């Protein structure tokens, strides 16, 4: 009677057979990670809208109206005084041409008067003087506006604080000089300088930056968020101008709303939290 014998296996010294090759499509192996590491979408852009900035400025103005109006009176009166001084200086240094009309030919001839170039330079100097005053006086309101975005109540005493006055003054003089040159070059470059440097005080007060560094940071912020900052610059400027046009009284509301809205915009675009 025969007995069953299992088939002989490979010799003990023979290596095991290699594993089967993976399927042609990669066999479920995860794809290599993209360069730079990690998966997921790039970070989202800051959430900001013109409506949110205006609503925030108006709501916080209402919540701190009494203290803000006291500070706004100091700001508006100070700017009005500086503007009046500039107007007097301009009037004293310029003159209108003297014109005569020939009764026979009805031809008008004008002699004298300040030339266009001289008038342009004088207006640019007055604008620069007004800008320095606006930045130095307005720094206190900017400080209070930043405090609001951090959850603190506005205190009109912020206007009279002198800390960081040196950097604020130096930055104001640099910006005023650049604006003066830009204004001489037919106004538009001066507007560009004002727009690009509009967040300088916020960087000085919030980040304790040196004047030149704060100016550079403002330029970069505007450049990296050009659409949002341009919209806010135009709309905020129009709102502030309307306030000044209403016998200066409207500026007691419009200017603080714009400054608080600018603080909100600055915080949002720099990725910082904003108090509700």
pLDDT per residue as tens digits for the range 76-113: 888 888 888 877 877 777 766 667 776 676 677 766 66
pLDDT more than 70, % of the chain: 77
> If you search the block for the tokens 């979408």, which residue do you land on?
41
Q: Out of 17-26, 49-58, 160-169, 260-269, which region has the weakest mean confidence (pLDDT)?
A: 17-26
Is the confidence at residue 259, as pLDDT, over 60? Answer: yes
C-alpha span between 274 and 268 (Å, rounded): 7
Rounded-to-integer distance, Cα 195 and Cα 79, Å: 19
The SS3 call for residue 111 is strand
Comparing C-alpha atoms, which of 157, 168, 161, 146 is closest to residue 57? 146
Residue 262, pLDDT > 50, answer yes
Q: For 115-134, b where at least 16 C-beta lie within 10 A, e where not — what string? A: eeeeebebbbbbbbbbbbbb
pLDDT at 54: 96
DSSP 208-251: ---HHHHHHHHHHHHHHTHHHHHHHHHHHHHHHHHHHHTTTTTH
Q: What does the alpha-carbon distance between residue 206 and residue 167 come to, in Å, rounded to a whole number?
A: 12
At residue 71, the 3 state secondary structure works out as helix
Confidence band of 234 (pLDDT split at 50, 70, 90): very high
| Token pair listed for 138 | 């307005």
- 37 pLDDT band, cuts 50/70/90, is very low
pLDDT of residue 39: 39
43, pLDDT greater than 60: no
Residue 23 has pLDDT above 70, yes or no: no
The per-residue pLDDT for 113 is 62
Q: Are 218 and 203 in contact (CB under 8 A)?
A: yes
Structure tokens at 122: 């004088």
Q: Is the pLDDT of residue 263 over 70?
A: yes
Contact by Cβ (8 Å): 200, 175: yes
Reported as a single tens digit per residue, the pLDDT across 142-195 is 999 999 999 999 988 888 888 889 999 999 999 989 988 888 887 788 889 999
How far does Cα 238 stand from its chain's mean position? Answer: 15
Supply the DSSP symbol for 259.
H
CA–CA dist 173, 131 (Å, integer) = 9
Rounded-to-integer distance, Cα 196 and Cα 233, Å = 10
The answer on pLDDT for 17 being more than 90 is no
Residue range 228-256: mean pLDDT, rounded: 90
CA atoms 42, 47, 48, 49: torsion sign: positive
Query: d(Cα 52, Cα 182) in Å, to the nearest integer?
Result: 32
Residue 8 confidence class, pLDDT cut points 50, 70, 90: low
- Per the model's pLDDT, the better-predicted residue between 146 and 245 turns out to be 146
C-beta separation of 82 from 250 below 8 A? no
Q: Which two tokens stand for residue 154?
A: 């506005």
Nearest C-alpha neighbor of 80 from the set 128, 134, 123, 125:
134
How large is the angle between the packed helices 65-93 and 251-269, nearest 10 degrees? 110
């Amino acid at each position: 009677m025969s007995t069953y014998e299992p088939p002989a296996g490979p010799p003990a010294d023979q290596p095991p057979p290699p594993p089967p090759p993976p399927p042609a499509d990669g066999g479920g192996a995860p794809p290599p990670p993209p360069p730079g590491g990690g998966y997921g979408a790039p970070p989202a852009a800051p959430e900001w809208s013109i409506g949110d900035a205006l609503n925030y400025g108006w709501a916080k103005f209402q919540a701190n109206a009494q203290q803000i109006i006291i500070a706004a009176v100091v700001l508006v009166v100070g700017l009005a005084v500086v503007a009046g001084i500039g107007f007097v200086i301009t009037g004293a240094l310029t003159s209108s041409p003297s014109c005569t009309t020939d009764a026979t030919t009805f031809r008008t001839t004008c002699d004298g008067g300040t030339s266009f170039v001289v008038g342009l330079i004088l207006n640019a100097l007055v604008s620069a003087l007004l800008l320095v005053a606006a930045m130095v006086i307005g720094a206190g309101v900017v400080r209070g506006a930043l405090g609001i975005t951090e959850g603190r109540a506005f205190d009109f005493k912020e206007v009279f604080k002198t800390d960081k006055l040196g950097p604020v003054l130096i930055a104001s003089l640099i910006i005023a000089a650049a604006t003066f040159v830009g204004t001489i070059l037919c106004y538009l470059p001066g507007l560009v300088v004002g727009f690009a440097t509009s967040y300088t005080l916020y960087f000085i007060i919030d980040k304790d930056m040196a004047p030149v560094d704060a100016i550079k940071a403002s330029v970069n912020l505007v450049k990296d968020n050009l659409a949002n900052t341009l919209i806010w610059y135009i709309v905020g400027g129009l709102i502030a101008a309307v306030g000044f046009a209403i016998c200066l009284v409207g500026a007691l509301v419009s200017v603080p709303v714009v400054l608080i809205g600018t603080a909100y915009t600055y915080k949002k675009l720099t990725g910082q939290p904003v108090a509700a």
